[in-house]
Homo-oligomer: A and B are copies of this chain.
Amino acid sequence: MKVLVTGASGFIGRHCVAQLHAKGYEVHAVSSAMRDAPPGVTWHGADLLADGEAAGLVRRIGATHLLHLAWCTQPGKYWTALENFDWLRASLAMIQAFTAIGGKRLVAAGTCAEYDWHGGGICAEATTPLVPGTLYGSSKHALQLQLAAWSRQTGLSSAWGRVFSLYGPHEHPQRLMASTISSLMDGNTATCGNPGLVRDYLHAEDVASAFVALLECELAGPVNIGSGHGVALGDIVTAIGQKLGAVDRVRLPSVSVRGTEPALLVAETSKLALTGWTPKFDLDRGLDDTIAWWRAQPRATLR
């Protein structure tokens, strides 16, 4: 397997690169944020949104497998970023180029934001309505529809991993777990605006291994990537407080102001189970791992 990974320096991609390399595959890692290449991994610096670059890169590298994770992901911005259109266009071009060079298997990252959040609940690939409410969700979903139609037409083997909530080392400091840990470690309080919301959290390393499992099998179409278990956000924040001996500095409002977000958003994971994948971390051990990573960081990066 010669595999091209986009978004290779990202929250999920970094683990995919390491896992694929450890399995002995030839790994070509693409990222706009160039990193030092671990021995045996070839890094390619590229701006996939530049005209023709995504397709050109696919042709130059000539991989048999493509794991496409790159997309706009800046917290607070990506839901509405007009750049979602650029990512959709670049991704379509990559699918075309990969098929043209005879690529064997393509797996790309989708999102639970493709589902209809008016209902929310336990989301199943085959039955939950797909009515994305954001430009991000719509753009991802348009790509999923096109990948499926393209695969039916051309015979390309493909799957689509719908990611739910995730956490772990290297998380963006504005996101819930990272900000909670760093605030409490700094001696500050930590809060959570919507403690009652129930989400499906999976350690980024496990999300990555699910993508690798999808790449290694022949399962087709959308596949939820989640733990299958819901946890209230308030309980996560409290658990972090307990682990850090700082539960007295956790501030949870008694009433949630949840706006348009669904009360419950959990993955139905029976399709994912068909790959044989199992997670390495439960939430308790995943939090320990994440806190250990934060403790090992130089103090300045905590802010």
- The verdict on A42 contacting chain B, using a C-beta distance below 8 Å, is no
Q: In the bound complex, do residue A85 and residue B80 qualify as a contact, i.e. CB atoms below 8 Å apart?
A: no
- The verdict on A33 contacting chain B, using a C-beta distance below 8 Å, is no
List CB contacts (< 8 Å) of A118-164 with chain B: 132, 134-135, 138-139, 141-143, 145-146, 148-150, 152-154
Contacts of A139 in B (CB 8 A): 146, 149
Give chain A's interface secondary structure class. helix
**Complex: how many Å from CA A150 to CA B84?**
10
Count, chain A residues at interface, CB 8 A: 29
Contacts of A134 in B (CB 8 A): 149
Chain B residue at smallest Cβ distance from A142: B142
Provide the A66-102 mask, 1 if CB < 8 A to any CB of B, else 0: 0000000000000010100110110011011001000
**Complex: how many Å from CA A149 to CA B114?**
12
**Complex: how many Å from CA A80 to CA B150?**
9
**Complex: how many Å from CA A142 to CA B139?**
9
- The 4 A-B residue pairs with the shortest CB-CB distance in the complex, in nearest-first order: A138-B149, A142-B142, A89-B89, A135-B153
Contacts of A82 in B (CB 8 A): 96, 99, 150, 153-154
- The verdict on A52 contacting chain B, using a C-beta distance below 8 Å, is yes
**Complex: how many Å from CA A99 to CA B82?**
10
Contacts of A80 in B (CB 8 A): 153
Contacts of A132 in B (CB 8 A): 149
Counted per complex, copies of this chain come to 2
Contacts of A89 in B (CB 8 A): 89, 92-93
- The verdict on A51 contacting chain B, using a C-beta distance below 8 Å, is yes
Contacts of A88 in B (CB 8 A): 92, 146
Q: In the bound complex, do residue A146 and residue B142 qualify as a contact, i.e. CB atoms below 8 Å apart?
A: yes
**Complex: how many Å from CA A51 to CA B80?**
25
Chain B residue at smallest Cβ distance from A89: B89
**Complex: how many Å from CA A89 to CA B141?**
15
A71 CB → nearest B CB, Å: 15
A186 CB → nearest B CB, Å: 36
Pick the residue among B86, B95, B138, B148 that contacts A85 (CB under 8 A). Answer: B95
List CB contacts (< 8 Å) of A44-61 with chain B: 51-52
Which interface residue of A52, A99, A135, A138 has the most chain B CB atoms within 10 A? A138
**Complex: how many Å from CA A85 to CA B90?**
11
Chain B residue at smallest Cβ distance from A148: B138
Chain B residue at smallest Cβ distance from A90: B89
A237 CB → nearest B CB, Å: 31
Q: In the bound complex, do residue A146 and residue B138 qualify as a contact, i.e. CB atoms below 8 Å apart?
A: yes
Contacts of A95 in B (CB 8 A): 85
A148 CB → nearest B CB, Å: 8
Supplied contacts A135-B153, A141-B145, A145-B145, 8 more A-B pairs, CB within 8 Å: A85-B93, A85-B146, A89-B93, A132-B149, A134-B149, A135-B152, A142-B142, A142-B143
